[in-house]
């Protein structure tokens, strides 16, 4: 079975990455590439990197045309705009994998306070499945609308899930010190993202105020069965791809796990996961271990009740487009790693 796929927002970083993966995917056929461009243009003339590999035109989004040509639609649009396209596609029975934040949060109020915009499609929020395969594989398998997780949340939730799900951590103690490459900010012409500004620099931003916080809180809280607040400080790295999160938690007083015991817990929790790799005692991941791959690597160290967890992903792959294709694979019953290794 070949799935006809469309990519909306194909000129952004996640969009280009989707095209790259889908070109190599044996069961997917790229059937449409869309952006905000008024005039149709050869995709490969906009991105010479794809010359000789893609013949498709880049067209202005036309929902009807999109629905006519594609079975599965990847929306790589800025948040607050994906929800303009979703209702029509859902009505047309398309499978929608939305890389924006629009359907990740169960509460429209939380959405509004995080993204400073009222939700315009509350009806479909309930239909959406949070597309983190390691937690929701079964639901993803039958979902029509998949809310692909944010990059920071992917690394954070996978890093914390085994401990939080087993009630081992003091849920008031979670500190996430996150560092991201620049593609995480998308392709927007703003002064602060210029090479001359970012190169040789490093800084924190949106300290304890990043829009991904409620998403992390929502998922950790579901795992814990009670509200799990987090302290979340994202930083901007002078490199293109990758997120590394250094996470600090305290164990519950009754829990006396040492590093080996925790690693054991993690290995079991992720035993059947093709894209989560637990590092050995004494080892931690670096970005280059995961850059260009769909893996999430995790290292752990515990000392007298305090635990340091370090997780690393490629923000454009496991943190966006790779995970989106992983979700497509699950949804269409393809081997989960198809096109991704």
Name the residue among 294, 285, 292, 277 with its Cα closest to residue 337: 294
Question: How many whole angstroms separate alpha carbon 308 and alpha carbon 203?
Answer: 22
DSSP structure class, residue 212: T
Residue 201 found at the interface with a second copy (CB under 8 A): yes
Rg over alpha carbons for the chain, rounded to the nearest Å, is 20
Question: How many whole angstroms separate alpha carbon 41 and alpha carbon 2?
Answer: 26
Residue ranges in 10-39 that form contacts with a second copy under rule CB under 8 A: 13, 23-24
User: 70, 72, 151, 296: which is the annotated catalytic residue?
Assistant: 151
Tell me how far, at minimum, the Cβ of 17 lies from a second copy, in Å: 12
Residue 91 found at the interface with a second copy (CB under 8 A): no
Tell me how far, at minimum, the Cβ of 57 lies from a second copy, in Å: 17
Alpha carbon distances (Å) from 258 to 43, 173, 248, 273, 274: 53, 18, 15, 23, 26
Residue 284 found at the interface with a second copy (CB under 8 A): yes
Residue 94 or 277 with smaller CB distance to a second copy: 277
Q: What does residue 118 show for φ and ψ, rounded to 5 degrees?
A: -70, 145
Residue 233 found at the interface with a second copy (CB under 8 A): yes
Residue 108 found at the interface with a second copy (CB under 8 A): no
Residue 54 found at the interface with a second copy (CB under 8 A): no
Residue 25 or 331 with smaller CB distance to a second copy: 25
Tell me how far, at minimum, the Cβ of 115 lies from a second copy, in Å: 21
Position among 126, 142, 190, 271 found at the interface with a second copy (CB under 8 A): 190
Residue 49 found at the interface with a second copy (CB under 8 A): yes
Q: Say how many residues touch a second copy, by CB under 8 A.
A: 66
Residue 142 found at the interface with a second copy (CB under 8 A): no
Residue 244 found at the interface with a second copy (CB under 8 A): yes
Question: How many whole angstroms separate alpha carbon 163 and alpha carbon 166?
Answer: 5
Name the residue among 210, 180, 178, 177 with its Cα closest to residue 198: 180
Position among 235, 252, 258, 264 found at the interface with a second copy (CB under 8 A): 235
Structure tokens, 232: 């979340």
Tell me how far, at minimum, the Cβ of 186 lies from a second copy, in Å: 9
Q: Which stretch binds a second copy (CB under 8 A): 90-98, 100-108, 155-163, 304-312?
A: 304-312
Cβ–Cβ under 8 Å, residues 181 and 243: yes
Q: Which stretch binds a second copy (CB under 8 A): 74-82, 100-108, 210-218, 289-297?
A: 289-297
CA atoms within 13 A of residue 51's CA, in its CB half-sphere: 5
Position among 40, 123, 238, 335 found at the interface with a second copy (CB under 8 A): 238
Phi/psi region, residue 254 (left: phi>0; alpha: psi -120 to 50; beta: rest), is alpha
DSSP structure class, residue 84: H
Question: How many whole angstroms separate alpha carbon 141 and alpha carbon 64?
Answer: 26
Name the residue among 167, 298, 267, 149 with its Cα closest to residue 219: 149
Position among 92, 211, 231, 264 found at the interface with a second copy (CB under 8 A): 231
| 151 assigned to active site | yes
Name the residue among 325, 250, 265, 288 with its Cα closest to residue 26: 325
Position among 65, 84, 167, 177 found at the interface with a second copy (CB under 8 A): 177
Cβ–Cβ under 8 Å, residues 301 and 308: yes
Phi/psi region, residue 96 (left: phi>0; alpha: psi -120 to 50; beta: rest), is beta
Structure tokens, 263: 């690693």
Residue 195 or 254 with smaller CB distance to a second copy: 195
Position among 215, 297, 314, 336 found at the interface with a second copy (CB under 8 A): 297
What is the set of active-site residues? 151
**Which residues of the chain form contacts with a second copy (CB under 8 A)?**
13, 23-24, 48-49, 51-53, 175, 177, 179, 182-183, 185, 187, 189-191, 193-204, 207-208, 231, 233, 235, 237-242, 244, 246, 248, 274, 277, 279, 283-293, 295, 297, 301, 303, 306, 308, 310, 341
């Amino acid at each position: 079975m070949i799935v006809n796929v469309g990519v909306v927002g194909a000129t952004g970083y996640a969009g280009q990455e989707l095209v790259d993966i889908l070109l190599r995917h044996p069961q997917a056929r790229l059937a449409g590439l869309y952006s905000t461009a008024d005039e149709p243009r050869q995709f490969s003339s906009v991105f010479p990197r794809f010359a000789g590999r893609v013949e498709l035109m880049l067209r202005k989004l036309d929902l009807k045309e999109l629905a006519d040509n594609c079975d599965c639609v990847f929306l790589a649009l800025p948040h607050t705009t994906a929800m303009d396209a979703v209702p029509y596609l859902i009505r047309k029975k398309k499978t929608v994998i939305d890389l924006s934040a629009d359907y990740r949060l169960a509460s429209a109020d939380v959405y509004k306070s995080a993204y400073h915009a009222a939700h315009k499609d509350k009806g479909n929020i309930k239909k959406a499945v949070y597309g983190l395969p390691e937690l929701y594989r079964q639901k993803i398998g039958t979902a029509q609308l998949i809310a692909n997780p944010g990059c920071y949340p992917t690394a954070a939730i996978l890093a914390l899930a085994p401990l939080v799900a087993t009630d081992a951590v003091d849920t008031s103690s979670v500190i996430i010190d996150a560092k991201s490459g620049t593609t995480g900010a998308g392709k927007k012409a703003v002064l602060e993202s210029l090479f001359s500004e970012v190169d040789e620099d490093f800084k924190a931003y949106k300290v304890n105020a990043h829009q991904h916080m409620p998403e992390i809180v929502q998922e950790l809280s579901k795992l814990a069965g009670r509200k799990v607040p987090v302290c979340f400080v994202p930083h901007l790295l002078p490199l293109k791809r990758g997120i590394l999160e250094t996470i600090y938690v305290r164990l519950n007083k009754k829990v006396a796990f040492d590093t080996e015991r925790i690693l054991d817990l993690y290995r079991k929790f992720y035993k059947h996961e093709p894209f989560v790799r637990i590092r050995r005692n004494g080892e931690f991941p670096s970005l280059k271990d995961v850059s260009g791959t769909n893996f999430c690597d995790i290292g752990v160290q515990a000392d007298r009740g305090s635990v340091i967890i370090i997780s690393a992903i490629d923000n454009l792959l496991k943190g966006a487009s790779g995970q989106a294709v992983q979700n497509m694979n699950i949804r269409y019953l393809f081997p989960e790693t198809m096109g991704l290794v």
